[in-house]
Structure 1
Amino acid sequence: MELEVTLLGTGVGIPHSGRAQAGLVVRAEEPLLFDCGAGALLRLAEAGLSPLEIDVVLLTHLHLDHVSDLLALAKARWLMGANEISVFGPDGTEAWFEALRSLYPYLEELDVSITIVRPGDEFSLSGLMIRAGEAVHSLPALGYRIESEAMAAVYSGDTEPAASMRKLARGADLLIHECSFPEPFVVTNHSTPLWLGGTFRGAGVKRIVLTHLYPQTVGREEEMVRDVRAGLADETKVEVGRDLQRIGV
């Protein structure tokens, strides 16, 4: 089974032109939405997807730039006659969602199923095997490996380049990994190009797409690709992702 990934949002909490906040869709039997930051709902429409097609959402963590359109998506489905949605996410997801929904009494009739996911969990959705790995961020955070019978794609969410992410991505056909800042920024909880490349050197990843780009990356995209490849020291294909980009796996 082939996979198709559509990048909905490749930006961050600080807006800059052309990049919505975090979100991507993986399509196999049915589309799965990973993260749902501000602008993701509009990007879904621009990608030709109706909210009615998105009944499963997997969250990497609960920062606003990854979750702020989730309630809006659930409401859009409700307005269109679909009352149910399933949400998978890290510890705290249920408490966060219910606290937010409680502010809007008319949405209490939404039928929302929430499943807490922890690093190491494996489960099947839409004919795909999903495995969660631990991300290194400022609050509980996950990365996800999505596998068909023959293909594997990994989405890092927000994280430092970490041994846990390297393990999750080993041998993957596609790694969508955050790379928030160019060199020579020194950061925690996020990734920079040389650090990212060095972490995944020898991991057997075939293609890396960089996402979660801060405004400081504008105009430095080619340089960032070169720096990631310098860290990798191999022939892995590296590119900067863009909103609405479709990637076949």
Structure 2
Amino acid sequence: MAKALSASTIAALAVLVAAPAAQAAPCLIATLTGTQSGPPAFDGLAGSGTLVRYGDDANDCSDVLLQFDAGRGTVMRLSQVGVQPMDLDAVFITHIHSDHVEGFSDIAQLRWFFGSQLPKLDVVCSDDAPSPAGFVLSCRKFVAHIGDAYLLSGATAQQATEMDGLDPAGPAPLMNVIAFTPTDDAQVVWTSGEVAVSAIRSTHIPGHASFRVDTPAGSVVIGGDASNDVTAPPRDTSTSAQVEKLAEGADIIVHSAVHPDLAPEKGSGMPPLVSTSVPSMSNTTSRKLSPPRTDRSERRRDASRTDPRSAPCARAAARPRAVPT
């Protein structure tokens, strides 16, 4: 006859039965949605943009979806990884050069057409920035007038008659602009749960800002088109000290690079190349972060920079601008 189970054994079994399943590991995915620089169309490349997704392994990193810049073709590239404009929690704009924002109209129009019932889409960008040439670069106005061509042509009114629930004012009222003044030190400009996005002033055009995303799974820095504060030779390096400061201890940097022949040392107004390994990408490219990771002290050691022409501090550096020659 089997012996009766002891009280301690029963208690142990009860603990095993009641023990919760292992928690899903947090994860962070950075996807380059575009790598083309400047106005030209080249080899099917989409314009500048980076999708950052945070969540856990159980939901395919889909708790928070953030798009940084939205160059030409961004919506098409997002669709390749199963993301629609209606899925985005926020769009961040480093600056309003057309190669970084041409695709924002698509995001806004599709959000209006298919997501009018959703909360407003946060659009995070610099506040109005005066140019030395006498005009003002205004992200606020860019967003406010994003649907004007459709409004003034009657296209918006026509679509509003074809589908119930569409705002006849177009997509602009569905955007929530969060504007900030870029500063020399990083400042938090957007948060959602465990995700915090910081911004810092960086040199390119008035109002240019670089961003950093911090999550429990890791961190990503989006440098935009930032270059050295000294924009032309003589100088030791083209590397942005501001981006380096923002990127201390980061896991991934997404930053710009151009061909050496387009550098100011050769007569161009563009910054010289930081890395020669610029990928030519016609589709999206992703990097996923999830534990285990090296601790912060090890990352800081990895990030130490001895060559002033090396990449800003990070264990991985992706540079999304491939310029045709």
Tell me what 2:258 maps to: 180
C-alpha spacing 1:202/1:10, structure 2 compared with 1 (3 Å): closer
Q: Are 2:251 and 1:166 equivalent residues in the alignment?
A: no
C-alpha spacing 1:126/1:79, structure 2 compared with 1 (3 Å): farther
TM-score, length basis structure 1: 0.77
Tell me what 1:95 maps to: 141
The letter for the 1-side match of 2:273 is: T
Q: Equivalents in 2 of 1:203, 1:78: separation in Å?
A: 38
Q: Secondary structure at the match of 2:198?
A: strand
Q: Quick check: which has more Rg, 1 or 2?
A: 2
The letter for the 1-side match of 2:210 is: G
The letter for the 2-side match of 1:4 is: I
Tell me what 2:94 maps to: 60
C-alpha spacing 1:156/1:204, structure 2 compared with 1 (3 Å): closer
1:153 is displaced (CA, Å) by 1.1
C-alpha contact (below 8 Å) 1:169/1:205 kept by paired residues:
yes
C-alpha spacing 1:17/1:203, structure 2 compared with 1 (3 Å): closer
Tell me what 1:212 maps to: 321
Q: Which piece of structure 1 moves more, 41-50 or 114-123?
A: 114-123
1:102 is displaced (CA, Å) by 3.2
Tell me what 1:238 maps to: none
Tell me what 2:10 maps to: none
Tell me what 2:204 maps to: 137
Q: Equivalents in 1 of 2:179, 2:262: separation in Å?
A: 37
Aligned with 1:26 (options 48, 52, 59): 52
Tell me what 1:6 maps to: 31
1:208 is displaced (CA, Å) by 0.9
C-alpha spacing 1:212/1:194, structure 2 compared with 1 (3 Å): closer
Question: Could you report, residue by residue, the CA deviation over 1:221-240 in whole angstroms, capped at 9, with x for unpaired residues?
Answer: xxxxxxxxxxxxxxxxxxxx
Q: Secondary structure at the match of 2:224?
A: coil
* Identical columns (%): 25
The letter for the 2-side match of 1:215 is: P
Tell me what 1:247 maps to: none
Tell me what 1:15 maps to: 41
The letter for the 2-side match of 1:166 is: E
Tell me what 1:233 maps to: none
**What are the ranges of 5 or more consecutive residues in structure 1 without an aligned counterpart?**
217-249
Question: Could you report, residue by residue, the CA deviation over 1:183-217 in whole angstroms, capped at 9, with x for unpaired residues?
Answer: 6732445451269x95475964111112112112x
Q: What is the aligned-residue RMSD (CA, Å)?
A: 2.4
Q: Equivalents in 2 of 1:124, 1:57: separation in Å?
A: 13
Tell me what 1:155 maps to: 222
1:95 is displaced (CA, Å) by 1.3
Aligned with 2:169 (options 95, 108, 114): 108
The letter for the 2-side match of 1:2 is: C
1:152 is displaced (CA, Å) by 1.4
Q: Secondary structure at the match of 1:8?
A: strand
Q: Equivalents in 2 of 1:135, 1:64: separation in Å?
A: 18
Q: Equivalents in 2 of 1:125, 1:33: separation in Å?
A: 14
Q: Equivalents in 2 of 1:55, 1:202: separation in Å?
A: 30
1:66 is displaced (CA, Å) by 0.7
C-alpha contact (below 8 Å) 2:126/2:209 kept by paired residues:
yes
Q: Equivalents in 1 of 2:37, 2:313: separation in Å?
A: 28
**What are the ranges of 5 or more consecutive residues in structure 2 without an aligned counterpart?**
1-25, 55-62, 128-137, 157-167, 228-238, 277-304
TM-score, length basis structure 2: 0.60
Q: Are 2:76 and 1:42 equivalent residues in the alignment?
A: yes
C-alpha contact (below 8 Å) 1:5/1:27 kept by paired residues:
yes
Count of paired positions: 215
C-alpha spacing 1:98/1:10, structure 2 compared with 1 (3 Å): same
1:126 is displaced (CA, Å) by 5.4
